[in-house]
Amino acid sequence: MRLVMSAARWDCYRSKRARQVYSLLFALILLTAAPFDLAYAQTVSPLFSLPFSGQPGPSTWYVAQWYGSTIWAHRNFDDIYSQGQGLHFGVDFAAPCGTPVRAIGDGVVFAVDGPYGAPPHNVVINHEDGYLSLYGHLFQRSNLQVGQHVSRGEVIGMSGDPVTQNCNQASHLHLEIRRTGMSVAVDPVPLIDADWRALTIGADTDGSRFELFFADPGKWMTNTQQPDTEFGGPVINQSGAAWPPS
Amino acid sequence: MATKLATFASIISCLLLVSCTAPWSSRQTTSSTEQASVVNMATATEPETPHARTETNTATTQPTVASVFEPTSTKVAASPSATTSVATPSPTPIAFRGKVAGCCGTFGFIDSKHLLVFDNPAGQQTGAWLVDRASGSRTFISAGFGLSSASGLVAIPDKSAGTTNIRRLNGSLVFTIHNGGVLTWISPDGTHVAWLEDLGITNISSLVPRTVKLWTAKIDGSDATPLLTFDAAAIQWLPDNRHVIALARAPDGSSAGIWSVNTTDGTNSVVVRGTFLQALRLSSDGSRMAYLETFSGTSADDGVWVADVDGSRRVHLSESGAFRWAAGSTQLWFLKLAAAGSGNDQLLQVDIATDRVINQVDLGGRVLDDDWEVSPDGQAVVFWNEKDQSVMLQTITP
């Protein structure tokens, strides 16, 4: 991707003939390098939709925690996120219990209440391009069956609360996107078509900000710079001094 | 896959051939959406029936003079037909405007004259820098970052040492407190500190604050006293230097809301009850607080509220979104985000008593990750700039 960007800018200062030469060269690179295609698709062409319909707001839903090295993840690294390298390996959408949750893309049901965490109930959908979406903390077991086809936007369950069925502590949907046979979680933000800035509605949670590492201040500081999560891998967000301390 | 590759290649080739005058990273054309927002603003500033919903009759309605201010080159003005008085902009006071840090989005106003930012400038030290708002000059304070107080002291935790260093604005060390190197809040008069000790109780969801013990001590760390145990992540001192407020709940999940704790004896009360309250912010004079209520079960009750610090005189505002206090305790600034990929964010100044927008300012950029703060005097805003991830300081009132 960086090669694409830099080539384009540099080319702007060259003659038309030079541009044609570089265009052909570039097309050749793309045709012969499959990994480039995947990276391009990930960063430029969102594949999925949001898991809720309607607008975010204080009565509907909003983003309470980003994927990655959030302040909340840093604070809870050794219990909630210990299996995910200390990272928050999904996006949390705060929503009242019972809010309809929708498939973010077409796919086939891979698991219902499978062994993938996010209790009390979860659903996993297998999509094209090697991605799987996980919908966690659902209020009740989904009516979907493994192997069943679902369409983008189809209701796959209702949001719940992992702390209590009374729904008065942490009602939210935990959305993950995984690949490599469920062993790796990736940041959903670049993969979902949304105006993400508007989705936090000013709730000002510590989940909407990222930990600042003094030794590498620019590292993992925005919601498009987060590392993949390898489940079972070592914790990666606890080295050295950071702000805020936990 | 081959079809996709060919498609990408064709698109890239076309772009390279025809888009030389428009580098991919640039945009900034005025869209119809932006124009529409100006029209809406003009409508919103016209006098109309106040929307503010007050729970008691004690709120006073103050006469206001709406003004229109044009602090930047981007024109944002009310319609000529608007029946509001238009204040003549006075010359901009001498104050630095521009980049104050090159990275990170970690900053806060110490007082109306000073800003604390974390930065890693090339060839200089990485850490907390004190920025003089008038000149933009900077002074290095510490390799770490910290919370400041109106007293002119900064509490900089050192987790590895298990201590918190209390420093003056010139960086000199005043005291070292042995409190585990956690977030430490200094009272406004600089005589006391408070902190939250994580009790290490396993948490089920990060949306629930961890169970902590609230401690207070004198500014030198002596007379450290545990006050109470609750679920909370942050506290704020009131100007009486005795009470702190916090979004909290009891460890069993009950009594959720805004707590007020007397730091002299630990007595406490829930001054505003609410299961899902967010974004608690104390006014710059410390007399009122604003917060966001969500998922109350009654949509009319959701949104931004303002109340006295004892929970009385609650007022519901019709404006929504991220907010910060203006000077005093009578107005809030709301951040109105520009649409994805186009235009600058705007700040709307809302008068609480009348629930009316009385001012609009073009921020001159787009806020990244909700990181923005208004100075205690209400005359400057600092924000993390989406464009280059620098920290920008702007003047927002004449």
| A183-197, B57-71, B213-227, B266-280: segment of lowest average pLDDT | B57-71
CB atoms inside a 10 Å sphere around CB A108: 15
Between helices A2-11 and A16-32, what is the axis angle to 10°?
A: 170
Backbone angles phi, psi at B41, to 5 degrees: -60, -45
How far is Cα B396 from Cα B392, in angstroms, rounded to an integer?
12
Backbone angles phi, psi at B356, to 5 degrees: -115, 145
Position B89 pLDDT exceeds 50: no
CB contact under 8 A, B12 and A204: no
User: Which residue do the tokens 């806060």 mark?
Assistant: B108
CB contact under 8 A, B321 and A168: no
pLDDT of residue A128: 87
Between helices A16-32 and A34-44, what is the axis angle to 10°?
A: 100
**Which residues of B are less than 8 Å from A62 in CB distance?**
294
Work out the mean pLDDT of chain B and round it to a whole number.
81
List the single residue in A207, A218, A245 with the smallest CB-CB distance to B181.
Answer: A245
**Which residues of B are less than 8 Å from A64 in CB distance?**
207
Instruction: Tell the burial category of A228 from Cβ atoms under 10 Å away from its Cβ (0-12, 13-18, 19+).
Output: middle
Answer yes or no: are the C-beta atoms of A159 and A122 closer than 8 Å: no
3-state class (DSSP) for residue B99: strand
User: Which residue do the tokens 């974004």 mark?
Assistant: B279
pLDDT of residue A159: 98
- Residue B90 corresponds to which tokens in the numbers above? 């006075």
Higher pLDDT, A22 or A99: A99
Backbone angles phi, psi at B108, to 5 degrees: -175, 150
Is the Cβ of A103 closer than 8 Å to some Cβ of chain B?
A: no
- What is the mean predicted confidence (pLDDT) over B127-147? 95
Is the Cβ of A91 closer than 8 Å to some Cβ of chain B?
A: no
**Which residues of A are less than 8 Å from B322 in CB distance?**
200-202, 204
CB contact under 8 A, A209 and B183: no
Which chain B residue's Cα is nearest to A78?
Answer: B202
Which chain B residue's Cα is nearest to A240?
Answer: B160
User: Which residue do the tokens 């909340």 mark?
Assistant: A72
Pure H helices in chain B: 2-18, 32-45
Answer yes or no: are the C-beta atoms of B153 and B142 closer than 8 Å: no
Distance of residue B88 Cα from the nearest chain A Cα, in angstroms: 32
Which chain A residue's Cα is nearest to B119?
Answer: A217
**Which residues of B are less than 8 Å from A168 in CB distance?**
253, 256, 275
**Which residues of B are less than 8 Å from A56 in CB distance?**
none
Answer yes or no: are the C-beta atoms of A210 and A222 closer than 8 Å: yes
CB contact under 8 A, A8 and B15: yes
Which chain B residue's Cα is nearest to A9?
Answer: B23
pLDDT of residue B164: 98
**Which residues of A are less than 8 Å from B368 in CB distance?**
222
pTM of the model: 0.80
> At B38, which amino acid appears?
V
Between helices B2-18 and A2-11, what is the axis angle to 10°?
A: 30
Interface size A-B, in CB pairs within 8 Å, comes to 211
**Nearest one of A64, A90, A86 to A75, comparing CA atoms:** A86
Answer yes or no: are the C-beta atoms of A54 and A193 closer than 8 Å: no
Beta bridge partners of B114: B132
How far is Cα A40 from Cα B19, in angstroms, rounded to an integer?
19
Answer yes or no: are the C-beta atoms of A69 and A237 closer than 8 Å: yes
Position A24 pLDDT exceeds 70: no
Position B74 pLDDT exceeds 50: no
The model's confidence at residue B54, banded by pLDDT at 50, 70 and 90, is low
| A97-101, A238-242, B84-88: segment of lowest average pLDDT | B84-88
Distance of residue B296 Cα from the nearest chain A Cα, in angstroms: 7
3-state class (DSSP) for residue B364: coil
CB contact under 8 A, B20 and A79: no
Give exposure, B54-92, as e/b (b: 16+ Cβ within 10 Å): beeeebeeeebebbbbebbebebebeeebebeeeeeeee
Answer yes or no: are the C-beta atoms of B150 and B169 closer than 8 Å: no
Distance of residue B181 Cα from the nearest chain A Cα, in angstroms: 7
Answer positive or negative: Cα dihedral of A11, A16, A17, A19.
positive
CB contact under 8 A, B320 and A57: yes
pLDDT of residue B142: 95
B15-39 tens-digit pLDDT: 333 332 222 222 222 233 222 222 2
**Nearest one of A130, A131, A138, A172 to A155, comparing CA atoms:** A138
Backbone angles phi, psi at A133, to 5 degrees: -110, 135
Beta bridge partners of B304: B292
- Degrees to nearest 5, angle at CA B141 with B135 and B142: 145
**Which residues of A are less than 8 Å from B10 in CB distance?**
27
Is the Cβ of A223 closer than 8 Å to some Cβ of chain B?
A: yes
Distance of residue A21 Cα from the nearest chain B Cα, in angstroms: 10
How far is Cα A231 from Cα A181, in angstroms, rounded to an integer?
11
pLDDT of residue B94: 59
pLDDT of residue A37: 35
**Nearest one of A94, A245, A164, A1 to B159, comparing CA atoms:** A245
How far is Cα B369 from Cα B335, in angstroms, rounded to an integer?
12
- Residue B349 corresponds to which tokens in the numbers above? 């100044």
Contacts with B, A 172-201, CB within 8 Å: 172, 195, 197-198, 200-201
**Nearest one of B128, B121, B124 to B157, comparing CA atoms:** B128
List the single residue in A58, A169, A245 with the smallest CB-CB distance to B157.
Answer: A245
Position B83 pLDDT exceeds 70: no
pLDDT of residue B389: 94
pLDDT of residue A239: 81
Provide the phi-psi class of B58: left if phi over 0, else alpha when psi is between -120 and 50, else beta.
alpha
Distance of residue B39 Cα from the nearest chain A Cα, in angstroms: 21
Answer positive or negative: Cα dihedral of B122, B124, B126, B128.
negative
| A14-23, A219-228, B68-77, B169-178: segment of lowest average pLDDT | B68-77
**Which residues of A are less than 8 Å from B370 in CB distance?**
200, 202, 204, 208-209
Is the Cβ of A40 closer than 8 Å to some Cβ of chain B?
A: yes
How far is Cα A237 from Cα A242, in angstroms, rounded to an integer?
9
CB contact under 8 A, A243 and B106: yes
pLDDT of residue A79: 86
Higher pLDDT, B360 or B64: B360
Distance of residue A23 Cα from the nearest chain B Cα, in angstroms: 5
Distance of residue B49 Cα from the nearest chain A Cα, in angstroms: 24
A49-106 tens-digit pLDDT: 999 999 999 999 999 999 999 999 999 998 899 999 999 999 999 999 999 999 999 9
The model's confidence at residue B53, banded by pLDDT at 50, 70 and 90, is low
**Nearest one of B108, B50, B100 to B371, comparing CA atoms:** B108
Distance of residue B106 Cα from the nearest chain A Cα, in angstroms: 8
CB contact under 8 A, B5 and A37: yes
* % of chain B residues with pLDDT over 90: 73
Higher pLDDT, B377 or B70: B377
List the single residue in B1, B5, B253 with the smallest CB-CB distance to A164.
Answer: B253
pLDDT of residue B136: 92
Instruction: Tell the burial category of B33 from Cβ atoms under 10 Å away from its Cβ (0-12, 13-18, 19+).
Output: exposed
Position A145 pLDDT exceeds 90: yes
**Which residues of B are less than 8 Å from A2 in CB distance?**
none
- Residue A221 corresponds to which tokens in the numbers above? 């500081």
pLDDT of residue B163: 98
How far is Cα A14 from Cα B98, in angstroms, rounded to an integer?
33
**Which residues of B are less than 8 Å from A41 in CB distance?**
4
How far is Cα B386 from Cα B134, in angstroms, rounded to an integer?
24
Q: How far apart are the first and last CA of chain B?
A: 58
Beta bridge partners of A185: A178, A229
How far is Cα A203 from Cα A95, in angstroms, rounded to an integer?
13
Answer yes or no: are the C-beta atoms of A142 and A160 closer than 8 Å: no
List the single residue in B256, B292, B368 with the smallest CB-CB distance to A222.
Answer: B368
Distance of residue B295 Cα from the nearest chain A Cα, in angstroms: 5
Distance of residue A225 Cα from the nearest chain B Cα, in angstroms: 12
How far is Cα B201 from Cα B203, in angstroms, rounded to an integer?
6
- What is the mean predicted confidence (pLDDT) over B37-56? 35
Which of B3, B104, B145, B206 should be substituted to probe chain A, the one whose Cβ sees the most A Cβ atoms within 10 Å? B206
